[in-house]
Amino acid sequence: MPSKQSLSAAPQSLTFTTSTAFRHRLVQATLTGKPIRITSIRSSSLTPGLRPHEVSFLRLLDALTNGGVFQISETGTTLFYKPGLIGHTPSPNSATSSASKVIKHVISAESSGRGVTYFLEPTCILAPFSKSPFNIIFSGPGCVTSSTEQDYSVDTFRTAILPLYSHFNIIAKLECRIIKRSCSPGGGGEVSLTFGHQIRLPPTLHLRNPGRIKRIRGVCYTVGVSSGNNQRMIHAAREVLNQFINDIYIYSETVGHAPAAENGKRGTPGFGMSLVATSSTDCLYSADWGSSTEVIRTPEEIGRGCALRLVEEILKGGCVQRIGMKTVVSLMMMGSEDVGRVVLGKGVVEEEFVGHLRDWKAFGCGEVLVKEWSGSEGLAGGGMGGMDEGQLISLGVVGKGVGNVGRKVA
């Protein structure tokens, strides 16, 4: 549940409870510069307190900001965070070498249950508002590049989340590369992220035409298993998708051996697929599925399942799909004080989305305006990309105009 302001103890800090939306609350706090206190983090759980991946995220946040304060209670169930300025300053001793500008984030084996996109997504929301460019290399025994039960794969991040920033004219020097692939659990992967486009204020977004799907791209990968699995996944996915459109390319990547685990053991082998559909107006829909060590699935199941997930996401419609919502809303909230609009499918409104909007309100960024969307608003007939009027809503977001505090005004 979101939050009441605790007026008595510390007038400036906001209080939240539980580990819900942990990453994004920290990001929101950092962007708005407001200290927060999160209490009762898994306080009634058998393993109370912060999980390893959450602590790892705090470490990353510490590396990305200057002068932040983190206080974790002894049981780990309470966290106080006072944000610093966004921007990594290399230590003065090593300022001469360019290598010092790269942040190396090593993820421990305990947090290998989560994919590396757990860190990538919030990091990139902070990046445009940084003082200096972000160059980060994620590695370590907990670095999982494939999709997990809870996180999408780095391929999806690269092809479906990073391009969202182009809606805000953030286009230069963005790069996310997978240096070493790995599957969960086990990790040992390596991902480099470069985010070199810093801005002062994101422009107001008007995203109103979802358009029609013009192409589908995808990546399927095998790590430490036969590359024939790639063909099987692609075949199954195409069985579903071929009837809709011809322009489908699914690239396949084969990695001979999974990166070795710590103590020299063999890493986890696996395979998976990531699909991205692009519309005529550059709206993106993506889907992701990978093998898991808990449930045994054939490559055909993965390929077909991934295609069905993509179809489901396309059916939900709108200009922004579910996994991109937090990024888009966050950037809109930080924008100039004007009403931005984005058209969404009704199916996008889910628990996490509602929670995210409430959190923004708690941070003093106001409420969003929801309207029924009718395509007549400035668009010619058929502008809704083949969706019925009743399936879309229009979300109006008034920017807070906080923008980039650290960046010098030109």
Partner 1 sequence: FKSTSRNKRKGVKELGKLLYDDTLSIVNVAKLWRGETIDEADGEDEEVGGDDDFFKKAKNVDVEDSTTVDRGMPVFDIEALERKWKETEADMEDLRRRFITANLLDEQEKREDGEDDM
Binding site for partner 1 (CB under 8 A): 1-2, 18-24, 42, 44-46, 114-115, 117-118, 121, 147-152, 212-214, 240, 244-246, 280, 288, 305, 308-309, 311-312, 314-315, 317, 322-323, 346, 349-355, 357-358, 361, 367-372, 381-382, 385-388, 393
Q: How far is the CB of 33 from partner 1 (least distance, A)?
A: 22
Quick one: CA dihedral 124, 128, 129, 130, positive or negative? positive
Q: Which is nearer to partner 1, 206 or 358 (CB)?
A: 358
Q: Which is nearer to partner 1, 257 or 371 (CB)?
A: 371
Distance, in Å, from the CA atom of 49 to the CA atom of 285, rounded to the nearest integer, reads 35
Q: How far is the CB of 179 from partner 1 (least distance, A)?
A: 21
Q: Which is nearer to partner 1, 145 or 198 (CB)?
A: 145
The residues, ordered by sequence, that sit 6+ positions from 244 with a Cβ below 8 Å of its Cβ are 213
Question: From the CA atom positions of the chain, what is the Rg in Å?
Answer: 21
Q: How far is the CB of 126 from partner 1 (least distance, A)?
A: 16
CB neighbour class for 403 (10 Å; exposed up to 12, middle 13-18, buried from 19): middle
Q: Which is nearer to partner 1, 201 or 207 (CB)?
A: 207
Q: Which is nearer to partner 1, 253 or 352 (CB)?
A: 352
Distance, in Å, from the CA atom of 213 to the CA atom of 373, rounded to the nearest integer, reads 20
Q: How far is the CB of 18 from partner 1 (least distance, A)?
A: 5
Phi-psi region for residue 109, left (φ > 0), alpha (ψ -120 to 50) or beta? alpha
Q: How far is the CB of 31 from partner 1 (least distance, A)?
A: 18
Q: How far is the CB of 407 from partner 1 (least distance, A)?
A: 28
**φ/ψ (deg, to 5) at 140:** 105, 170
C-beta separation of 113 from 185 below 8 A: yes
Strand partners, 276: 217, 286
Distance, in Å, from the CA atom of 310 to the CA atom of 248, rounded to the nearest integer, reads 13
Q: Which is nearer to partner 1, 140 or 305 (CB)?
A: 305
